[in-house]
């Protein structure tokens, strides 16, 4: 077994934690494990999680992956952590978590975001100053919300961390952040790659917030090695290196080989994302395009929709269908769902920018109101949101020769065909659908290689470890493309009325 170079990749998402064991020499994923999280929800837009659940799930998923791989945890050379972006984890001076983490999909701090955006001079002022437009869900408004709603907790803040930063802190005892995930905080300048300290001083003139910031490190740098007590809990080598890690989109880019211009990754997860690599911070004039940094030294212009498999899941559960039955229903209904259009904005929406929107069903008649049409309408509606975002990226000069599809929804052949037709672009999946966990493991191998002076570049590792599933390749069908174009125009008309 000595010739294996084993790395652990972790993806801590909204719904659960996934772990994979990667052999970086053969490029094979040799074991996987998962464990679920629960969500704290409120009708006011509250979406929070108890960080204790993340660490428990981390241990459980890791042990399951090691068992599946049938390897000794002492052979793990490095760990990479991918985390859901924008979340806020607050620690006190003892390193204890002060309250549940507010998540990317939390909209409770929308009023604070609106005031901060006005303070920055609106969308234009925010773009000019930060290179992004702060949106509800970004970390910065969560800080102002905490100050206003929980002043006693705010007074005890000693560290401000993102979810993946927190897991790195739990693993190593070191508080740091890397540029990719930091880009989504709203107090980071994506052009200069530095914290915007003045914005934090505006929220709290005492300087407490800037003192609580983690130090910034490069994507190829290691955070440190695993603490002995944690290594024991995980059942892994205490000398294992912990890489910088990053946000789930940044790690998904690595896990799909999206590390040079020309590739587009589309993720069909709880939320939908579309992103492409850029070697310059060419900031789009459109507020919906977030020009984040990548976790590979470049940039990652990205759009995110708030409603994807969370919306399709609601309809599927409403009719008590398995995923197979749901896909059969979609296939039975015609393109355009017989005139039914669903605007699936159940969580508010970021792209199109409608934070206060709710979901709606339009075009219902006595004859078209069927289960199959409703199932189809929700999948079409969520996919049209991604088309809207892809068009924004294309207007920004990004070329898309092929879309690499990841996330739970990518496993559905019906949905893949729909994406190919609606985007009028060939679609292919990676063999490893857990692209963020794979990207985290590849980044850990890159970090370890960098530290030991070996010659494995990130491109070498991606070449070896990212495998395309040729059987999944799906080409657009001309007749479908034309039919979807009409349905998409109808969707845009409905959105315009909001």
Distance of CA 372 to the CA centre of its chain: 30
Q: Which two tokens stand for residue 378?
A: 């929700």
Closest CA to 53 of 104, 17, 26, 77: 17
* Strand 215-217 relative to strand 176-178, pairing: parallel
CA distance 116 to 123: 11
Q: Which two tokens stand for residue 294?
A: 């990548």
Cα→Cα distances 209→138, 186, 202, 380, Å: 16, 13, 10, 43
User: CB within 8 A of 76, min separation 6: which ones?
Assistant: 6, 7, 8, 21, 236, 237, 240
Phi-psi region of 471 (alpha: psi -120 to 50; beta: other; left: phi over 0): alpha
CA distance 397 to 412: 30
Residue of 165, 181, 248, 456 marked active site: 248
Q: Which two tokens stand for residue 461?
A: 């590792």
Closest CA to 13 of 86, 66, 64: 86
CA distance 179 to 137: 18
Residue where the block lists tokens 């934090």: 200
Is 248 an active-site residue? yes
Residues in the chain: 498
Segment (H or E) for 41: strand 40-41
Q: Which two tokens stand for residue 275?
A: 């992103």
Cis peptide before 474 (omega within 30 of 0): no
DSSP label of 346: B
CA distance 225 to 77: 10
* Strand 263-268 relative to strand 402-406, pairing: parallel
Cα→Cα distances 96→142, 232, 429, Å: 19, 21, 40
Burial bucket for residue 57 (CB in 10 Å: 0-12, 13-18, 19+): buried
Burial bucket for residue 497 (CB in 10 Å: 0-12, 13-18, 19+): exposed
Closest CA to 139 of 159, 119, 154, 160: 160
Output Rg (C-alpha) for the chain, integer angstroms: 22
Active site residues: 248
């Amino acid at each position: 077994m000595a010739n294996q170079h084993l790395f652990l990749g972790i993806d801590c998402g909204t719904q659960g934690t996934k772990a994979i064991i990667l052999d970086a020499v053969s490029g094979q994923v040799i074991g996987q494990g998962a464990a679920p999280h629960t969500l704290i929800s409120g009708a006011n837009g509250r979406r929070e999680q108890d960080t204790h659940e993340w660490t428990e799930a981390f241990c459980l998923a890791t042990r399951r992956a090691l068992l599946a791989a049938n390897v000794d945890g002492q052979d793990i050379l490095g760990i990479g952590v991918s985390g859901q972006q924008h979340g806020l984890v607050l620690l006190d001076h003892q390193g204890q978590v002060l309250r549940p983490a507010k998540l990317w999909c939390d909209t409770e701090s929308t009023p604070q975001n609106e005031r901060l955006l006005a303070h920055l001079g609106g969308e234009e002022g925010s773009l000019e100053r930060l290179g992004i437009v702060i949106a509800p869900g970004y970390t910065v408004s969560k800080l102002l919300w905490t100050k206003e709603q929980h002043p006693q907790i705010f007074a005890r803040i000693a560290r401000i961390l993102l979810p993946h930063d927190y897991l790195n802190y739990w693993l190593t005892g070191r508080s740091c952040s890397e540029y990719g995930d930091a880009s989504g905080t709203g107090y980071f300048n994506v052009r200069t790659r530095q914290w915007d300290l003045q914005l934090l001083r505006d929220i709290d003139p005492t300087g407490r917030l800037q003192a609580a910031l983690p130090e910034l490190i490069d994507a190829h740098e290691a955070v440190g090695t695993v603490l002995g007590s944690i290594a024991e809990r995980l059942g892994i080598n205490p000398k294992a290196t912990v890489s910088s890690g990053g946000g789930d989109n940044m790690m998904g880019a690595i896990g799909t080989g999206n590390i040079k211009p020309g590739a587009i990754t589309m993720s069909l997860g709880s939320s939908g994302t579309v992103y492409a690599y850029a070697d310059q911070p060419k900031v789009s004039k459109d507020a919906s395009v977030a020009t984040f940094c990548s976790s590979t030294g470049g940039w990652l212009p990205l759009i995110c929709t708030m409603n994807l498999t969370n919306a399709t899941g609601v309809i599927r559960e409403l009719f008590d269908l398995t995923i197979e039955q749901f896909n059969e229903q979609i296939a039975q209904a015609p393109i355009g769902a017989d005139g039914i259009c669903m605007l699936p904005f159940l969580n508010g929406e970021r792209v199109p920018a409608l934070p206060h929107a709710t979901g709606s069903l339009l075009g219902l008649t006595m004859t078209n109101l069927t289960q199959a049409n409703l199932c189809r309408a929700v999948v079409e509606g969520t996919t049209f949101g991604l088309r809207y975002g892809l068009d924004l990226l294309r207007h920004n000069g990004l070329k898309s020769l092929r879309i690499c599809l990841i996330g739970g929804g990518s496993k559905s052949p019906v949905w893949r065909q729909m994406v190919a037709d609606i985007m009028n672009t060939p679609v292919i999946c990676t063999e490893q659908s857990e692209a963020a966990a794979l990207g985290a493991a590849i980044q850990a191998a890159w970090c370890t290689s960098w530290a030991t002076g070996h010659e494995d570049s990130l491109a070498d590792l991606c070449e070896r470890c990212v495998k395309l599933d040729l059987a999944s390749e799906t080409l657009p069908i001309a007749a479908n493309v034309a039919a979807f174009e009409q349905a998409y125009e109808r969707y845009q008309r409905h959105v315009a009325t909001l």
